[in-house]
A and B are shown apart, each in its own frame.
Chain A
Amino acid sequence: MNKTDNNPVWWGTFTVAAEESLLWEIGAMRLSVLRKSQEWQVAQTGYGFSETDDVTCRIARGERIADDAAMPERFIFTKTAETLRVMPQLADRPVIVRPAGAMRVLSGQETTIYVSSPLWVHIDVHEPPVALGDFPIQRPSDTWFGPSTLEGELCYAGSTQGRLRLDELPQRPHRAFTPVSIVNHSADPLLLERLSLPVPFLSLYSSEGGTLWTNGVTMRRESDTDIAEITISETPPPTEYVTHRLTGPRKKAEKNMLIRAFGALLG
């Protein structure tokens, strides 16, 4: 593959000759993979905090991150093979999303908000595949989701806000979109300040244009609590023409799960 500028599709299967390297640039993040006769080396820079909105993709063959910029991680094999697979991967913890401004879903009402969540680059090599690891495109902040500092779970903070309309959400190649339907069956209005998106249970799909989608999630609130009954749709969202499934979920979801999904802010 030659240099590809601004191509949103950065994943796929690549053939790498011995002593050859491949470099990915997605926004500020740079990731290089070098194949040697007995080892694979992966180096990464620029995955920390970044405020740039312009996230362009570039894959360059023959380029790599210099050793003095980042110490490469070394993976030793008896003999390396030429197959390298790079796939997008969702987070291993739930992602906390805030709607653009707190909103109330009144009793008996339902709405769909579109949210985006951060991605990791999953690298595996050889046939059958041997995983080298997951590398963040942009490491999200840690956050806590729960009613108090004693009870809750550690999550990632979603840096973007959930929107009611899909076209309001910026299209970025390093994030995956999820349509979340919120149904309020309880007698009281639901104040939606934060939402815990259970991404470890979701699969990733890609559309024709290279946009990444996850399965749709339905959150049903039956009583006046922060617990929601979560249903994960078997199929990808029908609003987009999704070509195929890229990766499966990290955790197997039960049919109907009860998860603490809605949360107000801690003081």
Chain B
Amino acid sequence: MKLYEYEAKNILAKYGIPTPKGELATSPHQAKETASRLKPPIVLKSQVLVAGRGKAGGILFADSPEQAEKTAEKLLNMNIKGIPVRSLWIEEKIQIKKELYFGITIDRFQRNHIAIASAVGGMEIEEVAARSPEKVIKLPIKPYQGFRSYHARLISRKMGYGGNQLGMLEKIFTSLYRIAMDYDAELIEMNPIVETNEGTFIAADARIIIDDNALFRHKEFKERVAEGEFTQQEIEAMKEDLAYVKLDGNTGVIGNGAGLVMATLDTIQLYGGKPANFLDVGGGATSDKIAVALKIVLSDPNVKVLFINILGGITRCDEVAKGILEAKEKVGMTKPMVIRLVGTNEEEGKRILTEAGIFVFESMEEAAHKAVDISKQ
């Protein structure tokens, strides 16, 4: 789960990492008051979870409280990549001598956390890595050792710092590591962390993504579904523990198992069709789950035909068949359906569907072909 910049900065501040003085505002009036407290010049930053808000005009400056009010009004009426701006983080403008990068993420291959740093900050670290990999410092973190002070010093030296700045960076880097652990962050980064003209450091921007699987340990974020990250249908699917992703075609897809559903989408495209969505009902799908899945997929008006691809491992085909019929009735579904059903209790499942007048395929390719044909009629 992505946190808003202001949430991330508040956490950083709580752990003693210097951040620009700032406050959250949700109205132009509030922005004006905040601006006068902070003493301009100030920065107004739209709080949205989509990347590239700066380029989209979502970050503006103001030199007086009055200007802050006007600017806030403009920003609060803006949409950034379709997401309405509802709040602004207003903070003091800082003097920048140099922009740096420091973050901690997961190295899947090495199965550990990894610290990533660069003396070139302010742009996407992937971009830096692609253009000049020698400017990216990577340090794997050993699980039973953790990120120690000396690791921070090693990185700081490589970034070209010494003297009393070494101690400052050490404190900041190790604090960020503590946050990563305490909050189960799969990504935490300060981009940029700024070196000021006075030689101090300050986290000018911060990003935290919490591991969704660890949300049970972070109740304060568990109930929240961040706006803009997901569509309404995706949110509904999550409540039912289904994985749904909206796409822009006209062939609705329901399947069990992420890999199988991905392969189903690929096969549909291979035959010239366009999938309307990805939906994985997972293992052990009950009638109720299938019904919800059907409802979610059919709520997309573009769907012309529905392709259900179930390969039973844990999932029982007779359960699925009953679920499909029940759901069909509940939703009042009239759109054509192509079903591929094999696995546990396969015969019973097929019998139920065939008796209800639905045609069932055994091969995924044949079924996909049929679905694509219908979608083009």
Partners in one complex: no
